[in-house]
């Protein structure tokens, strides 16, 4: 009995040790955790590990195999001790209980038609077109977006507020950090999804995990043949119903002494509340022997196969928004802007938006990315932003290079170091210097040197490869000229261009990343010194 009483505290302690580092990799505002470490922390999750292993088979990416073996051994413990969204739901349920929002759970038939249909469709779409459905359903990605775009700004604001207060007392061990904003549309989408999941957790327990989540359904299928399962000892059970009322998965039917182990997430709440200690976690072969004996005695045993027959129809709750494009534009930018008459500007519209360096091509990136937003939260320049319709409806929430928000640093490879799914490959600095994610375009009619006769040159000053050079213009002014062979499409020129609404410099993304030429180094001219007599 002491072993059974230890199960729930061990589960809670394990969940705490997992949720803290997984959360910190998304809102580590000071960058204490290296991007490569954040990546390996993310690889403890099922979907990122599976996808990375598919793209690059290696032992570090094979943790999903361990999760499957763990499930085969003892059921869906992943959902309670490793999945951050599952742990978060448990936390919300606990907080609701402490606030007096008490929910009495009841046994509910499994919505097998919905759960297996979602799993089948997710598998089929991944085989045919990549992660288009996993973007919306992967529990790690859902939690990652919530942490990156809801929690991260709140943590940053609290830090900045505390820093300003401490500075009044000459305490400077903290400092202000720029707040990263996503577009209103993305925040709205994330808020709707997370609100649905949280309300379900408060009033319906693990409804999302046992109805919508494809990982939960897959592990549930495996857990039906687990070696160790929760079992109700019908001889000692007094049918008080406490186990059913505390089961957040709604998988315990105390009247029949049945536990649908395919939906059990091994929270062990039932073990702790059972007054007779009738619920035990033991070798499933013993359970089968007991059921066989009691079936011969005339009892009606409800099995998993029977429960699938009584599954009723249910509707899959989902909200797909196709909002208008609202790119993020930090309000605290101190750059001087030149607002010109729109009618006098030459208009343009980007057809292709650049994907992160290391993603090879936009198509490959869209197929592999689950939009977990880890690369966005780790990006030091904030150039990576979640897309709305930049990639089309199939790429919603996947990161793209938004040169309104920032530009891609010449020596930065953080996104490839952090990406857990393999959508952004790990590259070295020398490779980064020649990856051409797009092409810069110069519109002379929008340049303030041409329209206002004002000297500028900001684009040339910020170009890391010196692909932009200033050439003579009228009245001793200089105007930009682009060398496309060494331009890498980093977006520095577009980001710093002061003209609005249509800039004189803009970057058109490349469908497939190419290689740029390395900028030629200027030869140093050596002047021989003459021997002077003094």
pLDDT at residue number 288: 52
Predicted pLDDT of residue 398: 96
Q: pLDDT tens track of the chain, all 534 residues?
A: 555 678 888 999 999 999 999 999 998 998 899 999 999 999 999 999 999 999 888 887 889 999 999 999 989 999 999 999 999 999 998 888 888 877 778 898 888 999 999 999 999 999 888 899 999 999 999 999 999 999 999 999 999 999 999 988 888 888 888 888 888 999 999 999 999 999 998 888 899 999 999 999 999 999 999 999 888 888 889 889 899 888 999 999 888 888 999 999 999 989 888 888 888 888 875 555 555 545 444 444 334 334 333 333 333 333 333 333 333 333 334 457 778 767 778 888 899 999 999 999 999 999 999 999 999 999 999 999 999 999 998 899 999 999 999 999 999 999 999 999 999 999 999 999 999 999 999 999 999 999 988 899 999 999 999 999 999 998 889 999 999 999 999 999 999 999 988 999 999 999 999 999 988 765 444 445 555 444
Let me know how many helices (H) and strands (E) the chain has, helices first. Answer: 24, 12
Copy the structure tokens of residue 84. 């951050």
Tell me what the pLDDT averaged over the chain comes to.
85
Q: Cα dist. 426→45, 313, 359 in Å?
A: 19, 45, 9
pLDDT at 291: 52
User: 439 forms bridges with which residues in the sheet?
Assistant: 508
Please, which residues have CB within 8 angstroms of residue 76's CB and are 6 or more apart in sequence? 216, 219, 220, 223, 264, 265, 266
CB-based contacts of 436: which residues, under 8 Å, 6+ apart?
A: 487, 488, 489, 510, 513, 514, 515, 516
pLDDT score of 357: 95
d(CA 144, CA 365): 18
Indicate the burial class of 34 (C-beta count within 10 angstroms; 0-12, 13-18, 19 or more).
Answer: middle
Interhelix angle 2-24/35-42, rounded to 10 degrees, is 140
d(CA 140, CA 48): 8
Tokens 């200033």: give the residue. 470
Mapping DSSP onto H, E and C, the string for 301-357 reads: CCCHHHHHHCCCCCCCCCCCCCCCCCCCCCCCCCCCCEECCHHHCCCCCCCCCCCCC
> Are 316 and 114 contacting, i.e. CB atoms less than 8 angstroms apart?
yes
């Amino acid at each position: 009995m002491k072993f059974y009483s230890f199960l729930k505290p061990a589960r809670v302690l394990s969940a705490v040790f997992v949720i803290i580092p997984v959360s910190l990799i998304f809102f580590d505002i000071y960058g204490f955790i290296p991007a490569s470490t954040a990546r390996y922390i993310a690889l403890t999750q099922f979907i990122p590990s599976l996808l990375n292993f598919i793209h690059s088979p290696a032992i570090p990416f094979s943790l999903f195999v361990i999760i499957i073996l763990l499930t085969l051994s003892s059921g869906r413990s992943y959902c309670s001790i490793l999945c951050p969204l599952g742990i978060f739901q448990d936390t919300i349920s606990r907080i609701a209980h402490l606030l007096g929002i008490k929910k009495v759970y009841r046994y509910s038939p499994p919505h097998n038609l919905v759960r297996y249909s979602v799993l089948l469709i997710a598998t089929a779409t991944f085989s045919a077109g990549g992660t288009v459905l996993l973007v919306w359903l992967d529990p790690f990605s859902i939690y990652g977006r919530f942490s990156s775009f809801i929690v991260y700004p709140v943590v940053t604001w609290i830090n900045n507020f505390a820093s300003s207060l401490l500075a009044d007392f000459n305490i400077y061990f903290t400092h202000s950090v720029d707040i990263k904003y996503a577009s209103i549309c993305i925040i709205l989408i994330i808020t709707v999804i997370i609100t649905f999941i949280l309300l379900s957790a408060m009033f319906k327990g693990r409804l999302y995990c046992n109805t919508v989540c494809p990982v939960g359904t897959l592990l549930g299928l495996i857990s039906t043949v687990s070696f160790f399962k929760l079992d109700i000892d019908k001889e000692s059970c007094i049918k008080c119903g406490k186990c059913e009322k505390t089961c957040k998965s709604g998988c315990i039917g105390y009247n029949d002494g049945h536990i649908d182990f395919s939906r059990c997430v091994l929270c062990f709440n039932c073990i702790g509340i059972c007054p007779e200690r009738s619920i035990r976690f033991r070798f499933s072969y013993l359970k089968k022997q007991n059921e066989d004996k009691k079936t011969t005695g005339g009892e009606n045993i409800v099995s998993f196969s029977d429960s699938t027959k009584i599954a009723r129809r249910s509707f899959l709750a989902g909200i797909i928004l196709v909002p208008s494009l609202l790119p993020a534009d930090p309000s605290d930018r101190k750059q001087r802007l030149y607002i010109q008459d729109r009618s006098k500007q030459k208009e343009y519209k980007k057809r292709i938006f650049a994907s992160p360096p290391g993603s090879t091509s936009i198509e490959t990136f869209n197929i592999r990315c689950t939009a977990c937003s880890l690369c966005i939260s780790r990006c030091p320049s904030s150039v990576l932003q979640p897309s709305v319709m930049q990639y089309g409806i199939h790429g919603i929430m996947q990161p793209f290079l938004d040169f309104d928000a920032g530009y891609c640093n010449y020596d930065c490879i953080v996104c490839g170091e952090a990406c857990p799914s393999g959508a952004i490959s790990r590259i070295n600095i020398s490779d980064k210097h020649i990856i051409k994610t797009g092409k810069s375009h110069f519109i002379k009619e929008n340049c303030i040197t041409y329209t206002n006769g004002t000297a500028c040159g900001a684009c040339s000053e910020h170009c890391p490869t010196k692909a932009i050079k200033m050439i003579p213009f009228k009245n001793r002014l200089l105007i930009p000229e682009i060398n496309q062979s060494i331009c890498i499409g980093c977006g520095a020129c577009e980001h710093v261009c002061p003209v609005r609404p249509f800039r004189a410099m803009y970057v058109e993304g490349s469908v497939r990343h190419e290689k740029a030429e390395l900028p030629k180094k200027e030869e140093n001219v050596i002047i021989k010194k003459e021997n002077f007599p003094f």
